[in-house]
Structure 1
Amino acid sequence: MNRLLILIVGIGVWILSSLPVSADVSLQQLIDETPMNGELILENKQYDGNIEITKPITIIGKKATTIRGDGKGNVVLVKASNVTLKNLIIENGSLNRSSDEEYSGIRTMGEHNQFINLVIHDVYHGLYINSSKHTLVKNVKVTGQGTGKLGSQGNGIQLVRTSNNLIEDCTISKTRDGIYVEYADKNEIRNNYVSETRYGLHYMYSNDNTFYKNRFNKNTGGAAIMHSQNIVLKENQFSFNQGSRSFGLIIQTSTSNTVLDNEFYLNQRGIYLEQSTQNKIEGNKFFHNDIGVELWTTSTSQVFTKNHFEQNIANVLTIGAESYNQWNQNGMGNYWGTELSVLDLDQNQIGDSPVEYRSSLYKLVEDNELAYLFLKSPAIKIYEKINEALSTQKVMVVDEFPLIEKEKESPPWMLLFIPAIAIAGWIFTKKRRSRLS
């Protein structure tokens, strides 16, 4: 009998904790009344924040379930581990920059927490992961106040003193930085879209991170790697990052990072390297940028191999005194497009002689930052041609093993047209001769 009673009570608790609840009761009370590890299903309504979560719990909303803060603090403060928030709109957090705490739509300090299918707006930071581990952030959309207010707002997703987190499938726009990572190691950031921010992704003092297949579009800077090492950037897209001294990717005061198979398209500068060493730049595509790679003399011992340069105003600019970097590895250099003619008599897709890439634009850029604004001007091409004729250009790159694109073979069916074209030509010539005679 006792076992039956316990079973009935247990089933009753489970049913009550899983039923939709009324918005007439405060959300904080609903959370407090939900048992540990219970599930709270909210109605398709607006609930008043701010709320605090201090125990393992799952909160699930519907299409328009909204938690609206009072505009004076964190909308949602998570102090527990094993918390899941799903299918919610989070809004109206404090935008006050003068407080001791940087407020957020969601601030989490536990471990193994999950934030899935969320929309966050009208807050300072969107989601702040602080001193946490093993957090999953998936399909979260954060929208800031706009580019005109970048200095007075926070970041979309901020990770500080945390590790082993996964950020994926998120959309962030109009915040200060899209994803900001500080003193945070071993995180994975993949398949996110970031636009209209200062820096789409910003690493500070963070090591052993991976970001993969992200898209950075129309930011002042696509991604910034600063004071960090062992970062892997793979198959990301950096495009339309334009503005005063903009870039697709900056690597500054950082070492031993790998930039692999990324696309840099229509940026003011594809990659900008300063005070950095021993980074590997491999298999990337630089096309239609003002400057493909800008390399300052303080950056040495980089390895560039199997990169494609095509239709940039300047493929590479080295600024300052000569810097020592490697433009090939294991007998594999880089593709320099149609701008440099390279002979390949033995047809092994490696040039028969080294390539020297020259430019005179380095002097303009070094002397005056305003030169960046005029790189698209027709006068720049004339300036380069004059300096080429006067032999006053400087060698930017020496690639001893330049790579050559393999010519595409004609499909077999095209061969059928060759006899037909030849016969048509013979008939046309014969008729023309008969008319002339």
Structure 2
Amino acid sequence: MWRCLLLGWLCSLSLVGLAQEFKVTDTATLTQALTRAQDGDTIVLATAVYEGNFTVSRAIHLKGEAGATLDTLRQGSALTIAAPKVIVEGLNIRHWGRDLYYHDAGILLQSGADEVLIKGNRLVGDGFGIYGEQLNAPRIMQNSISGNGAIYVLDRGDGVFLKHVSAPQVQDNHFIFVRDGVYLESVTDSQIHHNQFAKLQYGIHYMYTRGDEASNNQAISVDGGYALMNSQHIFLHHNKVSQARDFGILLNITNDAHIQANIATEVVNPQGSVELGNEGKGIFIYAAQNNRIEANEFSHSDTGISMAMGGEANRLWHNRIVANQTQVKYVGEAQLEWSYQGQGNYWSEYQGWDSNGDGLGDIAHRPNDSLDKLFWLYPEAKLLMESPVVLLLRWVERQFQPTGVSGVSDSFPLMGWKTEEMGNEPFQQ
């Protein structure tokens, strides 16, 4: 028995020792090296342009010197990975196809290409940047992925598209002119951190995902920052979005998420209106339940917080709602309390006082009155908004603090912004 074990050990040592490094200089030698490579080998691409479609079928390290470029001549995918534990590093990849039905991509990850590392590459093309299905633990780090800004946004490929993938890591990448920066469908336990998104639809788009975390990402000049749709247990924290058109954060039929310490500012739709519901929203809560929304900033947008279609069962406190054209839009029939354990939110328009110096307003804050709801339900009445009678009715309602009226109330409004944060651990319901 011990002889068999010794023989196996010696064989493994010999295989490690056989790992080789190949340097290639043109398309023919690259194709040949990919055909002959064994697990553990390294292929170094010299500075040159390598034209065609290439496939990696062994667990190798594919590494480019400065200027090493794969050019697919606008047909199909540039690099297909069909083996686990492949490393792709330092390549320029360009001109792959744009057929989204056939998943044309700069890097196409086939089923079973587990634990791949895609690091420090520059991808420029019309289709998907990186596309993968049925994978475990891919790592996508420090890449630049650019689509084609001349193509209508919904006809572009996503920067990273992952479906039925567990534990992916997407970190320190730059995305521009793609459809969604990172699109995740039926994914679990993703980690998405320190990415930059610009000139695209959504920075991160979750669909049917669970147990994900995203932090320290920045999105600018996008349709929406972070879209959480039909998902559960997402920890979204310390992200920023500015100059968006539709929303900063979207919770659409998403439950048990923890939304903490994010900033959504300057979310403005010049063609939208709050009466029609197509204005820019700092956060849009739509049929989402049991989410914890704390210590965020929603500022300088068309609407700070918008809630609709059964989004009442959420907890909101310690948020900063500042200088939005409409601070809150809610047209439901429930009376909502937006505070927790004697702590509410900071409202820039609050006009109450703090007589005992405890940092909380002495009277509850109601960001909307019953007339706001009337105008949202009947947009044609907007012409009356600034009439003397309407202004008088608004003043009367503020003075008497009516009870039993549907809408949002904060019984403990903060007089100043709480700079301390509530911790970085996911909330346990």
Sort the TM-score into its range (normalised by shorter chain).
Answer: 0.7 to 0.9
SS in 2 for 1:328: coil
Q: How well do the aligned residues superpose, as a CA RMSD in angstroms?
A: 2.7
Q: Does residue 312 of structure 1 match 2:324?
A: yes
**1:12–1:258 Cα change, 3 Å:** closer
Contact 1:296 1:323 in 2 (8 A): no
TM-score by length of 1: 0.81
Alignment partner, residue 351 of structure 2: 341
**1:352–1:205 Cα change, 3 Å:** same
Q: Does residue 403 of structure 1 match 2:414?
A: yes
What amino acid maps onto 1:221 in structure 2? G
Alignment partner, residue 423 of structure 1: none
Q: Does residue 138 of structure 1 match 2:150?
A: no
Alignment partner, residue 109 of structure 2: 108
Alignment partner, residue 292 of structure 1: 304
Contact 2:168 2:191 in 1 (8 A): yes
Q: What do the CA deviations read for 1:127-166 (whole angstroms, capped 9, x no partner)?
A: 0121111111101111111164213221110110001111
TM superposition shift of 1:274: 1.0
Contact 1:308 1:335 in 2 (8 A): yes
Contact 1:358 1:395 in 2 (8 A): no
TM superposition shift of 1:407: 11
CA–CA separation in structure 2 for the residues paired with 1:55 and 1:239:
43
**1:316–1:12 Cα change, 3 Å:** closer
Q: Which structure's residues are more often helix, by fraction?
A: 1
TM superposition shift of 1:395: 6.8
CA–CA separation in structure 2 for the residues paired with 1:43 and 1:165:
30
What amino acid maps onto 2:90 in structure 1? N
Alignment partner, residue 190 of structure 1: 193
Map residues 351-430 of structure 1 onto 2, 5 A cutoff: 351-359=361-369, 360-367=371-378, 383=386, 387-391=390-394, 396-405=407-416
CA–CA separation in structure 1 for the residues paired with 2:418 and 2:45:
61
CA–CA separation in structure 2 for the residues paired with 1:229 and 1:34:
42
Map residues 22-61 of structure 1 onto 2, 5 A cutoff: 22-23=25-26, 25-61=28-64
**1:238–1:12 Cα change, 3 Å:** closer
TM-score by length of 2: 0.83
Alignment partner, residue 265 of structure 1: 265
Alignment partner, residue 331 of structure 1: 342
Give the unaligned 5+ runs of structure 1. 1-5, 372-378, 409-437
**Identical amino acids, percent of aligned pairs:** 22
Contact 2:257 2:292 in 1 (8 A): yes
Aligned pairs, number: 383
SS in 1 for 2:90: strand
CA–CA separation in structure 2 for the residues paired with 1:11 and 1:237:
46
**1:407–1:168 Cα change, 3 Å:** closer
SS in 1 for 2:31: helix
CA–CA separation in structure 1 for the residues paired with 2:118 and 2:314:
38
Q: Does residue 350 of structure 1 match 2:351?
A: no
CA–CA separation in structure 2 for the residues paired with 1:279 and 1:140:
32
Q: Does residue 233 of structure 1 match 2:245?
A: no
Map residues 116-195 of structure 1 onto 2, 5 A cutoff: 116-146=119-149, 148-195=151-198
Contact 1:299 1:323 in 2 (8 A): no
Moved more, 142-151 or 18-27: 18-27
SS in 2 for 1:387: helix
What amino acid maps onto 1:150 in structure 2? V
Q: What do the CA deviations read for 1:58-100 (whole angstroms, capped 9, x no partner)?
A: 0110221111114221111111001000000111211124x5x
TM superposition shift of 1:387: 3.3
